[in-house]
Amino acid sequence: MRHIIHADLDAFYATVEQLDNPELRGKPVLVGGRPESRGVVATASYEARPFGVRSAMPMRTAVRLCPQGIIVRPRFTRYREMSRQVMEVFREFTEVIEPLSLDEAYLDISGAVNESEGRWPLGVALDLKRRVKSQTGLTVSVGVSVSKSVSKIASDLDKPDGLVVVPPGDQADFLAPLAVGKLWGIGPKTAERLKAEGVDTIGALAEQPPEWFERMFGQRANSVRLRSIGLDDEPVNTERITKSVSSETTFPDDLGDPEELRRVLEELAGGVAGSLERKGLQGRTVTVKLRLADFTTFTRQSTLPSPSNEPGPIQELAWRLFSAELTTGRTFRLLGVGVSNFAEPDEIRQLPLSIEGDFRAYGTGLGWPERAPQA
């Protein structure tokens, strides 16, 4: 029998700041940009949340709701470092890990559970929480069940420092009273549509006939119906086919200085090149992702003459793509660099590269994952 953990670090960015700076402990911390520069909240500490502050809220709104909040600029290098430490703790329990973001992952702990020796899912989860706390100082909320979707819902029900275990066979009863919007794959718009049909809870959803699911969800009908009763056999994915390698950063404050933007761009491109080299990949297509101060988001891409994982050509082409978008008064909220269209192993050649020649820019890129920093 499978046993799946969904682990979610509590108020990750804010907690890291409180760990590193004892003066912030017990105080409302707002990690993000400055309110006067149209910054947004990346994460709010649990001391700030009773005031109504939440992630992705404009910082000026957060300050109005919580005037005593202490604004701290994000340090993503530090957060990545702490995330790696947590993942190392997870590997003490299993190698079957699917990271979702810096602060969130699925773990298949089936191999760590041995009921005949007293190693129950609850005990494994408690041990995991204890080790994360003792080795990193962070708290993690954990949901445990036989499926990914139920475990994810469970981990969110008792935050912070939560632990919810759903015994095998109890999935449907566990889900039934919960709001339908908590079900994996039911977004706010779908939840409103279901509410208009008189379906407010997951239990009410599960009671609908198959033809109703067909009408409401089309091709997704069967998967939604099964998840509504807690049946989900999707595996914890440790390996995925790499179609692109990318890196992006969201600025605490809108940025318009060309020299600073170029520095960030070259750092991102250099990091992507390093990742390509470590993975043994060489790519042809370079893409830059841009988000303006008004949240308009678009990409620009072009192709190298030959596949590469060298920093120089990737940085040079990325800058040429980006510099074409620099205009007076334009400021940027997010910047990213990606490489895709990988060469097959037998195509890879060590050739000197130049980006002189054919140059194309497109309005759509390489299917960049839209994941804003959250914790």
Domains of the chain in start order, with CATH, are 1-168 (3.30.70.270), 172-228 (1.10.150.20), 244-347 (3.30.1490.100)
Residue 154: CB atoms within 10 Å:
25
Which of 65-69, 248-252, 350-354 comes out lowest in average pLDDT? Answer: 350-354
- For 13-23, the pLDDT digits (tens) are 999 999 999 99
Q: Which of 175, 158, 165 is nearest to 120 (CA)?
A: 165
Tens digit of pLDDT for each residue in 138-186?
999 999 999 999 999 999 999 999 999 999 999 999 999 999 999 988 8
Q: Tell me the percentage of the chain whose pLDDT exceeds 70.
A: 90
Percent of the chain with pLDDT over 90: 68
Confidence check: pLDDT of 373 > 60: no
* pLDDT over 70 (residue 54): yes
Nearest-5° angle of CA 181, CA 185, CA 187? 50
Catalytic center residues: 104
Calculate mean pLDDT across residues 50-60.
91
Alpha carbon distance 42, 250 (integer Å): 9
| Helix, strand and coil in the chain, % to nearest 5 | 40, 25, 35
Joined tokens for residue 118: 């007293």
Band of the pLDDT at 76, cuts 50, 70, 90? confident
**What tens digit of pLDDT does each residue of 195-243 get?**
999 999 999 999 999 999 999 998 889 999 999 999 988 999 886 656 7
Q: How far apart are CA 159 and CA 137, in angstroms?
A: 16
Task: Give whole-number Cα distances, 137 to 10, 83, 375, in Å.
Answer: 11, 12, 16
Residues in a beta bridge with 287: 301, 338
C-alpha atoms less than 13 angstroms from C-alpha of 351 in its C-beta half-sphere: 13
Stretch among 161-170, 301-310, 360-369 having the lowest mean pLDDT: 360-369
Average pLDDT for the chain: 88
Q: Which residue has the tokens 């003792």?
A: 134
The whole-model pTM stands at 0.69
Q: Is the pLDDT of residue 293 over 90?
A: no
| Position 77 confidence tier, pLDDT thresholds 50, 70, 90 | confident
Both tokens of residue 234?
């999707």
* Residue 242 confidence (pLDDT): 66
Q: Does residue 349 surpass a pLDDT of 70?
A: no
Q: Tens digit of pLDDT for each residue in 274-292?
A: 888 888 889 999 999 999 9
How far apart CA 112 and CA 63 sit, in angstroms, is 45
Predicted confidence at residue 40, as pLDDT, reads: 82
- 109-133 pLDDT tens trace: 999 998 777 789 999 999 999 999 9
Bridge partners, 163 (sequence order): 142
- 369 CB burial (10 A radius; 0-12, 13-18, 19+): exposed
46 pLDDT above the threshold of 80: yes
Q: Where are the alpha helices (DSSP H) in 75-207?
A: 76-90, 121-136, 148-155, 171-175, 188-196, 202-206
- pLDDT band for position 34 (cuts 50, 70, 90): confident
The encoded tokens of residue 48 equal 């700030």
Tell me the pairing of strands 104-108 and 283-292: unpaired
Q: With a cut of 70, say whether residue 94 has pLDDT above it.
A: yes
Q: Which residue has the higher pLDDT, 279 or 105?
A: 105
**Residue 361 — pLDDT band, cuts 50, 70, 90?**
very low
Place of tokens 């804003």: 372
Q: What tokens were used for 343?
A: 């060469």
**Least confident stretch, 43-47, 187-191, 259-263, 356-360:** 356-360
